[in-house]
Structure 1
Amino acid sequence: MQSKAKTPEEYINELPEDRKEVISKLRKTILDNLPDGFQETMGYGMIGYVVPHSIYPDGYHCDPTTPLPFISLASQKNHIGFYHMGIYSDPELLKWFTDEYPKYVSNKLDMGKSCIRFKNMNKIPYELLGELASKMTPEDWVKKYESVIKN
């Protein structure tokens, strides 16, 4: 079930106690490392970090009224989801991340195309996720997005 929260604070406040701390720490990690220009918002029932229309007026191709999504954070039923659109669209960034992951966590990386799933909340590599969040500026993301979407 998607959250109906209107703000990240509302989202965090409705979580079970054991997840509040984890999502709050992930949120702080993202905010501390995300390059200037991205905007924190709520989208698709998750905390999101987007390229605002003031930087990229075209918005998201699926719904141009929506700002271009970049990172999302969600407490799912069986895991914490960290969604990073850059690793979905940039093979070099994906390779960097998958090469670095074992240096931080001993268990196998559990991920889909853009979703990194953390079933064990005690094994979240916050430092690595912060570095991942820092790797693309809004301008870098727009350029990569347009190169993928327009091809």
Structure 2
Amino acid sequence: MSVALFIVLAVFILGGGLAVVVTRNVVQAALALLVSLVAVAGIYLVLYAEFLALVQVLIYGGAIVIVLIFAIMLTRNAEYPRTSDNRQWPLAALAALGLLGVLVPSFLINAVRGTEPSNASFTGIGESLFTTWAVPFEVASLVLLVALIGAIIIARSGPGEN
């Protein structure tokens, strides 16, 4: 049962990621990213990591995708040249295939042994979150805030003010 659910979620993750790369509409790409991120939360649920699934949905599915959509909506993309038609896509496809050629054998050679699912304690996660990982989370939130403010400034400035 869990293997079938994993395969379905993996199809959603790969389909969402492929849609992000292939689509020319940036809003549709952001929504495809949301599909992929929610499917990753489903993978966390299959692995009995409820806290990570919740964090995945709230932070990535909620906050980051919303910031991306706000930034897309606030910038005037009609004034900028089309950047979706890039002549370097064959080189990028070749690099992606090369990376796939390295990752697949490494996963096959270093197969994961069977492990028992275990739940992490919320106390340990909370202590780690507010001691070890507090500064990286705050830095990430500041970077997102600066990006959103920059998008607002670019969108609101006049033609000669940039």
With normalisation by structure 1, the TM-score equals 0.32
With normalisation by structure 2, the TM-score equals 0.30
Q: Give the structure with the higher percent helix.
A: 2
Q: Give the structure with the higher percent strand.
A: 1
**Largest Rg, 1 or 2:** 2
